[in-house]
Amino acid sequence: MSLPFQEPVPEAARLSPKLLLIDPIRVLPSLLVPLAGVLVAGGFSPRSFIWAALGVAGSVLYAVVRWATFSYTITGGRLELSRAFIGRSTRVIPLERIRGVDVTTPFLHRLLGLAVLKLDTGAGGDKQEGELDGITVEEAERLRAVLLSRHAPIVQERPAAPGDHVFLRVPRAWLRYGPLSGAYLFTPFALVAGAVGLAFQWGGELGLDEDDAVAVGEWLWGHPLLLVGAAVVLVVLMPFLGAAMYAVFNWNFVLFGRGDHLVAERGLVNRRVVSLERRRIRGYEIAESPLERQARVARLWAVVTGLGDSQTRGQLLPVAPRAAVDDIAAEAVGPFSEALRPHPPAARRRRLFRAIAPWVVLALVMYALGYALIGIAATVLAVAGIALGLDRYRSLGHTYDGTRLSVRSGSLRRAQAVVERRAVVGWTIEQSWFQRQAGLVTVIAGVGAGAGGYKAIDAGETQAAAFAAEVTPDWMAPFLKR
């Protein structure tokens, strides 16, 4: 007799046994080389055939054991994947944490009516997501329906139209800031490499072969002036082609609002349109190269939950004057003007040591070995390291204004992130052996968006704990020493 309201006890399900037909075949390619080796080395004797047969039988057995020891269950609002092979492991995934379900049917699976179901939980790392490899297509569809409690509405990514609220049309004049970012500088080399690759790819069709390629190479080698000239031309072209490329990609950049989305549109040849759901924007990142800092321009990205490839897709502005960047950041996320708190003097010593010491060591070794020229070069770099180290220290900082936290760091390229408090999902404090000697730590705010974690490097020990406690007092209070 069963009690009322009692859930039926769910049975653990297994993957389809048809998987046993696929698994050994998939293992086969990795077995092929050793098998061929055994057959060739053994001279196709009966003994080597026995070894080969054992290898195949082993892979079949392995597939059977893997199949028999894996099971999955949906019970009480969660999915449990358990494997009891040599080691035992159980993975529990609460259903409401599942953000997406991806059903694919690779070729062999399709033949047998099977599918692979992959779960996107937004958890960091690739192997951390759940996977059911080898369930029937019907089961995959059933699971998809069960697992997907909600799904994000699909938005049409189309260009700006009347009725959209335009935040900013980037003036053409701003395109001149492009080369300052250092982006696309290597365009000339990329083009040459592309041309060479194409020549190799299509060369066969045009009646060219490897001998011709070698002949061309030798001819070029015989004319060093030509090579040097070509190299000089490529280097001279760097800023021009880089600027042209930048202009092509960022032509007529428009940022506008459509409903509850922020849409960025850009490009001369292809108009690229990316829309970001505003309620999923959790913060922004600003980056500046040294040249950009001189010219008071910067780049801006949105930190968005559930957005892969955020460095391209999350871009809110091309290289733009700092004032415009701050305006758009305030529009997309909210104004942030809190001053950054500096890190302790020990952090400056550490930055300086790391920027200088390797070059000093190299210089000493090279002088000792008699390579004076390399020694001088290393000495110059060591001296430059003083300025670099001091600049790295000045880049360090963190702060919290009551709703958003901010961290900044960087060597040459200075990057500042501003993230909402509600986006923080945990804290990690790391301390290397060297940091321990200096009484410093790196505190990382875990964020389920953007880069996944934002670091305040070389903060003081008490400073770091106090920072975490200031942002999320409920979580940290029980563990602080008073």
Partner 1 sequence: MRDALRDPANQVSPRARSLWFAEAVIVTVLLVGGLVLLSMWMTGWEFLPQWLLDRTWVAGLVIGLLLIPFVLAEPVVRFAVHRWELAADVVYARSGWLSRKWVFVPVSRIQTVDKAQGWLERFFGLATVEIRTASYAGSSTIKGLDYEVAARLAEELSRRAQELRDDAT
Question: Under a CB-based contact definition with an 8 Å cutoff, are residues 93 and 79 in contact?
Answer: yes
Selected from 17, 30, 49, 96, the binder of partner 1 by CB under 8 A is 96
Cβ neighbours of residue 69 closer than 8 Å, sequence gap 6 or more: 83, 84, 85
Least separation, in Å, of the C-beta of 301 and partner 1? 17
Is 87 a binding residue for partner 1 by CB under 8 A? The answer is yes
Least separation, in Å, of the C-beta of 200 and partner 1? 38
Question: Under a CB-based contact definition with an 8 Å cutoff, are residues 426 and 471 in contact?
Answer: no
Cβ neighbours of residue 331 closer than 8 Å, sequence gap 6 or more: 167
Whole-number Å distance between alpha carbons of 326 and 417: 13
Question: Under a CB-based contact definition with an 8 Å cutoff, are residues 418 and 283 in contact?
Answer: yes
* 248-277 residues near partner 1, rule: CB under 8 A: none
Q: Which of 168, 164, 449, 170 is nearest to 328 (CA)?
A: 168
Least separation, in Å, of the C-beta of 92 and partner 1? 4
Part of the chain binding partner 1 (CB under 8 A), chosen from 87-95, 108-116, 221-229, 315-323: 87-95
Selected from 255, 355, 464, 471, the binder of partner 1 by CB under 8 A is 464
Selected from 10, 17, 94, 229, the binder of partner 1 by CB under 8 A is 94
Selected from 104, 312, 403, 462, the binder of partner 1 by CB under 8 A is 462
Per DSSP (E only), the strands in 157-280 are 165-169, 254-258, 261-266, 272-277
Is 447 a binding residue for partner 1 by CB under 8 A? The answer is yes
Least separation, in Å, of the C-beta of 122 and partner 1? 4
Residue with tokens 């964020």: 447
Whole-number Å distance between alpha carbons of 368 and 390: 29
Whole-number Å distance between alpha carbons of 38 and 33: 9
- Three-state SS across 303-343? EEECCCCHHHHCEEEEEEEHHHHHHHHHHHCCCCCCCCECC
Write the interaction track for partner 1 spanning residues 29-68; mark x where CB under 8 A is met and - where it is not.
----------------------------------------
Question: Under a CB-based contact definition with an 8 Å cutoff, are residues 296 and 443 in contact?
Answer: no
Whole-number Å distance between alpha carbons of 79 and 94: 6
Selected from 77, 106, 194, 217, the binder of partner 1 by CB under 8 A is 77
In the bound state with partner 1, the residue whose beta carbon lies nearer, of 147 and 364, is: 147
Residue with tokens 């009480």: 76
Whole-number Å distance between alpha carbons of 472 and 482: 17
Is 203 a binding residue for partner 1 by CB under 8 A? The answer is no
In the bound state with partner 1, the residue whose beta carbon lies nearer, of 12 and 28, is: 12
Kindly state the helix (H) or strand (E) to which residue 124 belongs, with its residue range: none
Q: What are phi and psi of 400, to 5 degrees?
A: -150, 130
Is 474 a binding residue for partner 1 by CB under 8 A? The answer is yes
Selected from 1, 6, 8, 89, the binder of partner 1 by CB under 8 A is 89
In the bound state with partner 1, the residue whose beta carbon lies nearer, of 378 and 465, is: 465
* 414-443 residues near partner 1, rule: CB under 8 A: 422-433, 435-436, 441
In the bound state with partner 1, the residue whose beta carbon lies nearer, of 165 and 279, is: 279
For 191, what's the count of Cα atoms within 13 Å in the CB-facing half-sphere? 13
Least separation, in Å, of the C-beta of 115 and partner 1? 22
Is 479 a binding residue for partner 1 by CB under 8 A? The answer is yes
Whole-number Å distance between alpha carbons of 164 and 153: 19
Write the interaction track for partner 1 spanning residues 111-150; mark x where CB under 8 A is met and - where it is not.
----------xxxxx--x-x--------------------
Is 475 a binding residue for partner 1 by CB under 8 A? The answer is yes
Is 151 a binding residue for partner 1 by CB under 8 A? The answer is no
Selected from 14, 26, 66, 97, the binder of partner 1 by CB under 8 A is 97
Q: Which amino acid is at 68?
A: A
Least separation, in Å, of the C-beta of 272 and partner 1? 27
In the bound state with partner 1, the residue whose beta carbon lies nearer, of 274 and 445, is: 445
Is 159 a binding residue for partner 1 by CB under 8 A? The answer is no
Say what angle helices 46-69 and 19-41 make with each other, to 10 degrees.
150
Kindly determine how many residues on this chain lie close enough to bind partner 1 according to the rule CB under 8 A: 60
Q: Collapsing DSSP states into helix, strand and coil, what is residue 171?
A: coil
In the bound state with partner 1, the residue whose beta carbon lies nearer, of 170 and 443, is: 443
Is 218 a binding residue for partner 1 by CB under 8 A? The answer is no
* 296-315 residues near partner 1, rule: CB under 8 A: 305
Alpha helices (runs of H) in 70-186, residue ranges in sequence order: 107-111, 137-147
In the bound state with partner 1, the residue whose beta carbon lies nearer, of 276 and 328, is: 276
Query: Which tokens sit at 427?
Result: 């804290």
Least separation, in Å, of the C-beta of 398 and partner 1? 14
Least separation, in Å, of the C-beta of 353 and partner 1? 18
Q: Which of 134, 124, 410 is nearest to 287 (CA)?
A: 410
Binding site for partner 1 (CB under 8 A): 76-78, 86-94, 96-97, 121-125, 128, 130, 305, 422-433, 435-436, 441, 444-449, 452-453, 461-462, 464-466, 468, 472, 474-481
